Amino acid sequence: MRSILPEDWTLPAVDELNEAFFTSGRILLQSCAGCGTIQHPPEEICHRCQGTEFETRESSGRGTVYSYTVIHHPAHPKLAQSVPYAVVLVSLDDFPDVRITGNVLNRAFDGVSIGLPVRAVWEEIKTKNGAVYRLPQWEVVE
């Protein structure tokens, strides 16, 4: 179930690079097996050593709102019933250079601001063709 946007709204095109991020139910970041460099979004090659073997590192899922916007104008007819909604950019507390986009599930659109402490939660979405996503989302830590 999606709580902010409609069920038929855009989903990630899952590939071997982003599958762990969008389906595992954990915040798993791409880490170079050769030199340990973290890169997000995941890439096909390590930008530091050009290695092509990767592992994942798990974040605690605690973070801070780094930026946000409140969308009032629906950019597509599918979003007409969803506006206004907020989108946040979260900086991870344990990997502060990594920023992850999401929605805040336990606040209204006008209840988000820069600096809010948040923790990751997951929206489980099953598509008609049987694919299962666990989309990272956020809750304000009360």
Binding region for other proteins (CB under 8 A) = 4-5, 8-15, 18, 21-22, 39-41, 47, 66-73, 75-79, 82, 84-85, 87, 89, 97-103, 114, 135
> Which residues lie below 8 Å from residue 19, measured CB to CB, with a gap of 6+?
none
Closest to other proteins by CB, 14 vs 140, is: 14
Q: Closest approach of Cβ 139 to other proteins, in Å?
A: 14
In the numeric block, which tokens belong to residue 97?
């250079």
How near is the Cβ of 30 to other proteins at its closest, in Å?
11
Looking at the Cβ atoms of 1 and 73, the one nearer to other proteins is: 73
Q: Minimum distance between the CB of residue 84 and other proteins, rounded to whole angstroms?
A: 8
- CA-to-CA distance for 133 and 125, rounded, in angstroms? 5
The least CB distance from residue 55 to other proteins, in Å, is: 19
54's CB contacts (< 8 A; 6+ apart) are 30, 31, 32, 33, 42, 46
61: left (phi over 0), alpha (psi -120 to 50) or beta: left
Give 34 or 123: the residue with its C-beta nearer to other proteins: 123
Task: Please give the structure tokens belonging to residue 34.
Answer: 């050769």
- Cβ-based nearer residue to other proteins, 60 or 67: 67
